[in-house]
């Protein structure tokens, strides 16, 4: 496989006569992000290229580079009015402003321009002639910090639909500097617009201001019939940390629920710290539940409340750029065999109706989940009452592996994978057959890794011996990927 071109080589290519070469070089520098900072002078010069796409791609590359791109500001200001470069220039200028804390007196002009553009936007989130979405313009505005609060509040107060929803979201992106927005976000909680409600809850948590007003407002949604609304409210309380002490009794009551809300509530109590001391007995009860993540959340919360927690930073594969499915396959097979063996020993009398493998693509991990007939029946009845789902053709029900009785009973993390949130747009995949392919992380969402990962999990589960556990009839196997629609269940032939 050919080596990636160096930044120096891409700088040279950016100066070639061939239009396609210049476009390709600018795009490659965009993918490199901050690693391409040596290319700032060349990219700045390319902002004057006669080809629109070269100018646009050069501006987007400067946006990714961030603070080191500050010398390009004067040239970026020049191309604001050139055809199809306005959005890219605004993206770059706002990114530089966020990374450096401002771009001088020009920032006021940028905010005014964005204010005028947003005033003309439709209510729906559809691209304009610049192929830029309203949500993007609102994001650019939020990057200017305090200067962006007033115009975003104008949108929140006067507009409807997608534009209003993204204004609520963008205020949260500003963080504590948007404290003046709290009263309007609290008013937005009275809306029957579900996404506006969720984004307003999220932003209140990110801004973390006026807890005496905000925490009681958040608590009203802890028992919402909408699960997502409940979770956004609990997450917001979590983000307030010690300032959310008033929410302790309400959060503690959630620990008795037979749902995954328990994990969120435990995490929120842990973030409150010593002020949540009264919740310790309830948290201790969660240390014996079947769900591993709930046990871990309770244990971490207890440690933070008592001051005994050891904060562990997540594993990072420094410099890694390859998703290694060869090594991953071996790890999953070992995890599956060990997990099934442990389950058979720990729960010898439990009858299992389904075994599932759950893949976390961007989370770099996989989990073993097990279902029981009794749990499936209860779940099916619960959802059927709400008119949301029916039993499947096997007489069973699972809307997601997250709904299994023993969700994530065993799991493994792949620390040898790159962090796909940080690696940039391009990475390599070493397939199970030993062949290496290059994929782009913007290729149809998560499918760049989810499709081959899903196939790998399905192959492993179809071939895996499943001894020891007591099987119900029918006995199913299933595979699901997080953050995608890749789900499959089948009756085991073994």
**Predicted confidence band at 400 (pLDDT cuts at 50, 70, 90)?**
low
Q: Which residue has the higher pLDDT, 78 or 384?
A: 78
Give, rounded to a whole angstrom, the gap between the first and last alpha carbons of the chain: 41
Beta-strand runs (E) in 281-435: 322-324, 351-360, 365-371, 406-413, 426-430
Spatial distance between the Cα atoms of 332 and 329, rounded to a whole number of angstroms: 5
Q: Is pLDDT of 477 > 50?
A: yes
How many degrees, rounded to 5, is the angle at CA 215 between CA 210 and CA 220? Answer: 140
Would 2 be classed as within a structural domain?
no
Helix (H) or strand (E) holding 236: helix 227-240
Spatial distance between the Cα atoms of 69 and 67, rounded to a whole number of angstroms: 5
The CA distances from residue 61 to 72, 273, 372, 409, in Å, are 11, 42, 52, 43
Q: Is pLDDT of 240 > 50?
A: yes
Q: What is the mean pLDDT of residues 344-358?
A: 92
Please answer whether residues 67 and 36 qualify as being in contact, where contact means their C-beta atoms are separated by less than 8 angstroms.
Answer: no
Would 449 be classed as within a structural domain?
yes
Among the residue ranges 134-143, 236-245, 411-420, the one predicted with the least confidence is: 411-420
Among the residue ranges 60-74, 290-304, 480-494, the one predicted with the least confidence is: 480-494
Q: What is the mean pLDDT of residues 14-20?
A: 92
DSSP notation for 146-166: GGGHHHHHHHHHH--HHHHHH
Q: Is pLDDT of 1 > 50?
A: no
Identify the domain boundary among 217, 239, 261: 239
Would 258 be classed as within a structural domain?
no
Identify the domain boundary among 179, 213, 239: 239
How many Cα atoms within 13 Å fall on the side-chain side of residue 410? 20
What is the CB neighbour count within 10 angstroms for residue 439? Answer: 17
Measured over the CA atoms of residue 96, residue 97, residue 99 and residue 102, the dihedral's sign is positive
What residues make up the domain containing 421?
322-491
Grouping H, G, I as helix, E, B as strand and the rest as coil, residue 355 is: strand
Give the β-pairing of 322-324 and 426-430: parallel
Would 285 be classed as within a structural domain?
no
**Cis peptide before 371, with omega less than 30 degrees from 0?**
no
Spatial distance between the Cα atoms of 140 and 96, rounded to a whole number of angstroms: 11
pLDDT for 277-306, tens place per residue? 999 999 999 999 877 788 889 999 999 999
Residues 46 and 166 in one domain: yes
Would 172 be classed as within a structural domain?
yes
Identify the domain boundary among 219, 239, 259: 239
Provide the domain count of the chain.
2
Residues 235 and 348 in one domain: no
User: According to the model, what pLDDT value does residue 451 have?
Assistant: 87
User: According to the model, what pLDDT value does residue 252 have?
Assistant: 97
Q: Which residue has the higher pLDDT, 91 or 375?
A: 91
CATH of the domain at 234: 1.25.10.10
Percent share of the chain, pLDDT over 90: 60
pLDDT for 422-436, tens place per residue? 655 567 788 888 888
Three-state SS for 214-234 is HHHHHHCCCCCCCHHHHHHHH
Answering whether pTM is above 0.85, one says no
Q: Is pLDDT of 316 > 80?
A: no
Q: What is the mean pLDDT of residues 175-179?
A: 95
pLDDT for 21-35, tens place per residue? 999 999 989 888 888
User: According to the model, what pLDDT value does residue 258 have?
Assistant: 75
Average pLDDT, the chain: 87
Residues 154 and 39 in one domain: yes
Residues 332 and 464 in one domain: yes
Helix (H) or strand (E) holding 437: strand 436-440
Q: Is pLDDT of 443 > 80?
A: no
Would 280 be classed as within a structural domain?
no
Q: What is the mean pLDDT of residues 301-318?
A: 70
Nearest residue to 44 via CA among 32, 58, 34, 31: 58
Spatial distance between the Cα atoms of 466 and 468, rounded to a whole number of angstroms: 7
Spatial distance between the Cα atoms of 402 and 135, rounded to a whole number of angstroms: 31
**Predicted confidence band at 320 (pLDDT cuts at 50, 70, 90)?**
low
CA-atom Rg of the chain in angstroms: 26
Q: Which residue has the higher pLDDT, 130 or 185?
A: 185
Q: Which residues contact 9 (CB under 8 A, 6 or more apart)?
A: none
Please answer whether residues 490 and 476 qualify as being in contact, where contact means their C-beta atoms are separated by less than 8 angstroms.
Answer: yes
Would 375 be classed as within a structural domain?
yes
User: According to the model, what pLDDT value does residue 308 have?
Assistant: 87
Angle 106-119/86-100 helices, nearest 10 degrees? 130
Q: Is pLDDT of 368 > 60?
A: yes
DSSP symbol at 80: G
User: According to the model, what pLDDT value does residue 465 have?
Assistant: 87
- Helix, strand and coil content of the chain, in percent to the nearest 5, comes to 60, 10, 30
What is the CB neighbour count within 10 angstroms for residue 108? Answer: 11
Q: Is pLDDT of 343 > 80?
A: yes
Q: Is pLDDT of 346 > 50?
A: yes
Would 246 be classed as within a structural domain?
no
Percent share of the chain, pLDDT over 70: 89
pLDDT for 369-383, tens place per residue? 999 988 887 766 665
The CA distances from residue 46 to 58, 68, 90, 245, 399, in Å, are 6, 16, 16, 54, 51
Q: What is the mean pLDDT of residues 247-259?
A: 93
């Amino acid at each position: 496989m050919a080596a990636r071109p160096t930044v120096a080589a891409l700088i040279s290519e950016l100066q070639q006569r061939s239009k396609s070469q210049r476009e390709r070089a600018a795009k490659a520098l965009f993918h490199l992000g901050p690693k391409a900072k040596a290319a700032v002078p060349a990219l700045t010069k390319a902002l004057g290229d006669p080809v629109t796409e070269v100018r646009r791609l050069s501006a987007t590359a400067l946006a990714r580079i961030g603070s080191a791109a500050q010398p390009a500001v004067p040239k970026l200001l020049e191309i604001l009015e050139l055809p199809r470069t306005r959005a890219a220039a605004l993206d770059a200028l706002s990114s530089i402003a966020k990374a450096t804390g401002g771009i001088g007196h020009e920032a006021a002009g940028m905010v005014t321009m964005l204010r005028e553009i947003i005033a003309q936007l439709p209510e729906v989130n559809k691209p304009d002639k610049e192929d830029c979405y309203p949500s993007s313009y609102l994001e650019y505005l939020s990057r200017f910090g305090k200067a962006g609060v007033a115009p975003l509040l104008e949108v929140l107060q006067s507009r409807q639909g997608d534009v209003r929803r993204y204004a609520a979201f963008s205020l949260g992106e500003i963080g504590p500097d948007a404290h003046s927005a709290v009263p309007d976000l609290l008013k937005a909680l009275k809306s029957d617009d579900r996404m506006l409600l969720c984004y307003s809850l999220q932003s209140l948590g990110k801004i973390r201001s006026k807890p005496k007003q905000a925490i009681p407002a958040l608590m009203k949604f802890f028992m919402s019939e909408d699960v997502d609304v409940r979770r956004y409210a609990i997450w917001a309380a979590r983000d307030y940390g010690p300032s959310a002490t008033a929410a302790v009794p309400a959060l503690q009551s959630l620990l008795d629920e037979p749902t995954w809300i328990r994990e969120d509530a435990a995490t929120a109590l842990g973030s409150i710290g010593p002020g949540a001391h009264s919740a310790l007995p309830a948290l201790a009860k969660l240390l014996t539940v079947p769900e591993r993540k709930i046990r871990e959340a309770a244990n971490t919360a207890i440690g933070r409340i008592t001051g005994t927690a050891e904060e562990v930073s997540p594993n990072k594969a420094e410099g890694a750029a390859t998703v290694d499915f060869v090594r991953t396959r071996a790890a999953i097979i070992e995890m599956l065999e060990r997990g099934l063996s442990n389950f058979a020993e720990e729960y010898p009398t439990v009858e299992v109706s389904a075994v599932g493998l759950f893949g976390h693509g961007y989370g770099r991990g996989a989990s073993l989940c097990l279902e029981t007939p009794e749990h499936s029946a209860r779940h099916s009845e619960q959802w059927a009452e709400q008119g949301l789902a029916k039993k499947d053709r096997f007489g069973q029900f699972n809307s997601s592996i997250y709904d299994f009785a023993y969700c994530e009973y065993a799991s493994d993390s792949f620390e040898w994978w790159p962090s796909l949130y940080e690696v940039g747009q391009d990475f390599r995949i070493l397939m199970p057959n030993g062949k290496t392919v290059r994929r782009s992380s913007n290729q149809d969402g998560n499918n760049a890794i989810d499709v081959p990962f899903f196939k790998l999990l399905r192959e492993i589960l179809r071939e895996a011996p499943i001894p020891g556990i007591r099987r119900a009839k029918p006995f199913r196997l299933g595979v699901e990927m997080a953050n995608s629609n890749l789900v499959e269940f089948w009756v085991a032939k073994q």
